[in-house]
Amino acid sequence: MHRKMYRLIRHYRLYLLIPVIIILISGCSSNSKQQGEHISETRLLLDTYCTITIHGDVDSELLDEAFMLCGELEALLSMTIEGSDVWRINFADGGNLLIDPRTYQVIEAGLAFGEISGGLFDINIGRLTRLWDFGSGDNYVPSEAEINKASAESVWIDLGAIAKGYIADMIIMFLVDRGVTGAMVDLGGDVVTLGNRSDGDPWRIALRRPFGSLEDWIGVIEVSGQAVVSSGVYERSFEKEGNFYHHILDPGTGMPVKTDVVSATVIAESALIGEGLSTIAVLVGSDKALAYFEQNTGFLGAVLVLDSGEILRFGDLNFIDFADENR
């Protein structure tokens, strides 16, 4: 495994002393809800719905503090928020800057993922992601000349591929420091849970069928003390003039990558590691994915959905395939 990635994983182990578990929550509410022994709230942050649930007898102000941390980290790591660390780096024109140590941690992680993937995972494609701007809803397809120009200009970084995972991990660390022993953090599908289900059973995480509805699942994963993160070409995509475009870009061509993997779900020791490896799986395809997984000791298992509809499983995981259940 790459030395930088090993140092990153070791750093995370210093903080994740309490077992971390992942759960997928269906259904969201914008209001705080108190139900028995837990309190839960959903807010719009990171351009998605973020839910934090805390078990035990805690003050609701702890939720506010957790969401404040989420907003604080978004304000550091976002490429589009003016004044963020990433924004200042991109507009510094090579000058020296003081940045938050947490921003540096995410940049270091992104560079490490780039090295283990041979450059396919690349945080230095900020100008290309801004050019495509999948989040705008404009369905704009840049010309070859525009892509070449963006690729030739000064480097902009974009930490969007791993920022949510890092933030989810940091919120769990914050809750652990505050004495919480049971909690769930769901940042738009990057989900980290602390403790176990109230009945002591493993958490059951539903895997969405690519291009299906939110209730169309291919199966569930049962986990305890792990993180589960999915990346897929269906997340931010559009069709135009008979062609399909998605947000996971090939840094070599500036175009959406074309492999046989349409969805990759990774079970890992942290959400940051899960985000990086799931994105790499989409970038390299199913034939090469396992070799990259095995370079990282933080990897535990994966489920890949191919464009043919085939489902591949890697590592040690308890995956209940609904297709198998119906046979």
- Give me the pLDDT at residue 317, please: 85
Burial 208-241, CB ≥16 within 10 A → b, else e:
bbbeeeeeebbbbbebbbbbbbbbbbbbebeeee
- Give me the pLDDT at residue 326, please: 53
* Choice between 1 and 256, residue whose per-residue pLDDT is larger: 256
pLDDT at residue 94 tops 70: yes
In whole angstroms, give the CA distance from residue 126 to residue 155: 7
* Choice between 71 and 206, residue whose per-residue pLDDT is larger: 71
Instruction: Write the CB contacts of 268 (distance below 8 Å, at least 6 apart in sequence).
Output: 226, 227, 228, 229, 274, 277, 296, 298, 299, 300
- Give me the pLDDT at residue 182, please: 80
pLDDT at residue 232 tops 50: yes
3-state secondary structure 74-94: HHHHCCCCCCCHHHHHHCCCC
In whole angstroms, give the CA distance from residue 48 to residue 45: 6
- Give me the pLDDT at residue 91, please: 93
In whole angstroms, give the CA distance from residue 214 to residue 191: 16
Q: Identify the CA nearest to 141 among candidates 269, 41, 6, 241.
A: 241
pLDDT at residue 20 tops 90: no
In whole angstroms, give the CA distance from residue 192 to residue 60: 19
Beta bridge partners of 299: 268
- Give me the pLDDT at residue 9, please: 37
Cβ atoms of 185 and 62 closer than 8 Å: no
Cβ atoms of 66 and 174 closer than 8 Å: yes
pLDDT at residue 2 tops 50: no
The string of pLDDT tens digits covering residues 284-306 is: 999 999 999 998 889 999 999 99
Encoding tokens for residue 241?
A: 């003039």
For the chain, the first-to-last Cα distance in angstroms comes to 40
- Give me the pLDDT at residue 32, please: 56
In whole angstroms, give the CA distance from residue 299 to residue 264: 13
Over residues 120-134, mean pLDDT: 95
- Give me the pLDDT at residue 16, please: 30
φ and ψ at residue 252, rounded to 5 degrees: -75, -30
The string of pLDDT tens digits covering residues 263-283 is: 999 999 899 999 999 999 999
Mean residue pLDDT of the chain comes to 85
pLDDT at residue 135 tops 60: yes
- Give me the pLDDT at residue 259, please: 96
In this prediction, what percent of the chain has a pLDDT beyond 90? 58
Which ranges constitute the DSSP H helices of 206-304?
Answer: 271-284, 286-293
Q: Domains of the chain by range and CATH?
A: 3-325 (3.10.520.10)
In whole angstroms, give the CA distance from residue 66 to residue 311: 36
Cβ atoms of 254 and 128 closer than 8 Å: yes
The string of pLDDT tens digits covering residues 143-182 is: 999 999 999 999 999 999 999 999 999 999 999 999 988 8
In whole angstroms, give the CA distance from residue 226 to residue 244: 34
Single-letter code of the amino acid located at 48? T
